[in-house]
Each structure stands twice: as structure tokens, then as C-alpha cells.
Amino acid sequence: MRRADREVTDRKQLEEILQACHAVHIGAQDGDGMFVVPMNYGFHLEGDRLTLYVHSAQEGRKIAAFRAGGTVAFEMDGQHALRTADTACGHSYTYRSIMGSGPIRELTGREEKRAALGRIMEHMTGKSGWDMPDASLDRTADTFARLLAGAAPASGDAARDRALGQLLYHVGRWIYLVDAWDDLADDRRTGSYNPISARFGGETEANRDYLRTTLRHSLNLARSAAALLELGHWRETVENILFLGLPMVEELVFTGRWKAVNQHNRRQNP
């Protein structure tokens, strides 16, 4: 870097930055050109060797580029602060960041997948020892997500169709899992199938944080896909839904207030 005096080389400081950041921006390249995606991550720092772990859907531009191998670039930053002055040119901005590049590969072994997911969950939640059963919520959520993604009409623009499909896929996954949590008590009472009960059995409450983390992961992927689309006058509406509406619904559902609020709104707007 140009300002060598500002380079962070101390291991403790590097680990502080890794702990403080929650998203890493990964730059990759495919036949359509270069692109950057923000992703949640876990990490392992040993000596001067840093390994980052990220989780992705099994389809889309990002995973296709990652599977092609090669080198990717990455960047994360945090602790932003504006330094003011009496003149415009005197203003400055401070932050701490880590940048680099390296090979990327897909983990295929069951145990290395569990270990990687464990590191991601530990970094995002501050808790370790997560149970990683073989049964996956995505085996059922994926079906509904694919149905919603399939509703996107083809435009002939491959990049646009891929981004719209990913936006609808991750919103569909989010809807399916939030609805499953909302229906949990009713499904237990009636003996109906519920994917969350099927996954966690009698330990659903203990895995509340895990489920909310995977919901936020889906929302982040949906937001990344939306950022790639030319939405015109719809952008404000779409971003309002992704950044305000859906997180608000999630909070109401997981605090047990969604049904009451929904019923109140129906009475107010018959």
C-alpha cells in the first residue's frame, strides 16, 4: 500500500478488524466481466495465513464463478469516522480494513462443511458449539424458492434474468422459513408438517438465533441481487421492502406479535 506507515501488520489488530466486520466484499470474474458481492463470513487466522469461509446458494452467477476456480479479491472495512476541519479539503475519513486476494474453492466433505459453517455461525452470533444436522432446511425451502424464482419472465438478458431469479429465490426462501416459524405452534397442535420442527425436533427455541441468522443471510443475498438490477422507479419500493419491510415482519414474527398486528390491520382495512 502507498502509506506503509498506516499498514496494519500486528496479528492482534488484524484479528480485531476481522471480529468487528460482518461482511466481506468478494470480487470475482466470469464471462460477463468482473463483479463484487458482499457476504457474511467466518474466519481462521493462523500465523500470517488467513482463511475466510462464506456460504452461498447452489445456483447463480456467484457460485458459478467461484466453482470455476482461480483467484478472487476480497475487502472488509469498519470503524468508520469522519474527521472534520475548517475547510472542505481539510476533511478526512478514517476506517480500518483488510484487503487481499487468494484462491477460492468449494468445500465438499461433510465434516469440513460443518466446521466452516460453525466458524461462520460463531463469527456472526458470538456463540460456538452449533449443531449442524445433516437434514437441511433448504431441502424444503428450496422448492418454494425455486417456484418463486421461476415466476421471473425471461428477458433475453442473461445477467438481468440471473439477478432477478436470485432476488426472487432468496425472497421466496425467506418467506417460506418465516411462515414456517409463524405456523410452528399451530402445526404442532394439528400434527401438520413443519420444516423447522422436522429439522430441530424439540429444540426449535434453542435454534432461534441460528434461524434468524440464515434469514438475514437470505435477505443479504436478495439485496445483492437487487443491486445488480435496473429497477427504475421501482427501486425505492423494492429497497423499502428488502431493508425495512421484511426485517420488520421478521421481528414481529419472532417476538410473537405478527398475528395480532396482522389481525389489527385487517380490521382497520376491511
> What was the pLDDT predicted at 130?
75
Mean pLDDT lowest among 19-23, 129-133, 241-245: 129-133
Query: The C-alpha cell of 94 is what?
Result: 478514517
Residue 105: exposed, middle, or buried by beta-carbon count in 10 A (0-12, 13-18, 19+)?
A: exposed
> What was the pLDDT predicted at 151?
80
> What was the pLDDT predicted at 189?
87
Q: Is the pLDDT of residue 257 over 70?
A: yes
> What was the pLDDT predicted at 41?
93
**Region of residue 60 (left: phi > 0; alpha: psi -120 to 50; beta: else):** left
> What was the pLDDT predicted at 113?
82
Task: Look at the pTM and tell me if it is higher than 0.85.
Answer: no
The conformation of residue 107, written as its DSSP 8-state character, comes to -
- CATH class for the domain made up of 1-131: mainly beta
- Residue-wise pLDDT for 76-134, tens only, equals 998 888 899 999 999 998 888 999 999 999 887 777 888 888 899 899 888 887 766 55
List where CATH 2.30.110.10 sits in the chain. Answer: 1-131
Cα separation, 230 vs 234, whole angstroms: 9
- Residue-wise pLDDT for 167-201, tens only, equals 999 999 999 999 999 999 888 888 888 888 888 87
Q: Is the pLDDT of residue 236 over 80?
A: yes
- Cβ proximity of 70 and 103 under 8 Å: yes
Q: Is the pLDDT of residue 270 over 60?
A: no
Give percent above pLDDT 70 in the chain.
Answer: 90
> What was the pLDDT predicted at 134?
52
Q: Is the pLDDT of residue 75 over 80?
A: yes
Q: Is the pLDDT of residue 6 over 70?
A: no
Cα separation, 99 vs 21, whole angstroms: 13
Cα separation, 28 vs 14, whole angstroms: 23
Cα separation, 46 vs 31, whole angstroms: 34
Q: Which residues share a beta bridge with 28? A: 35
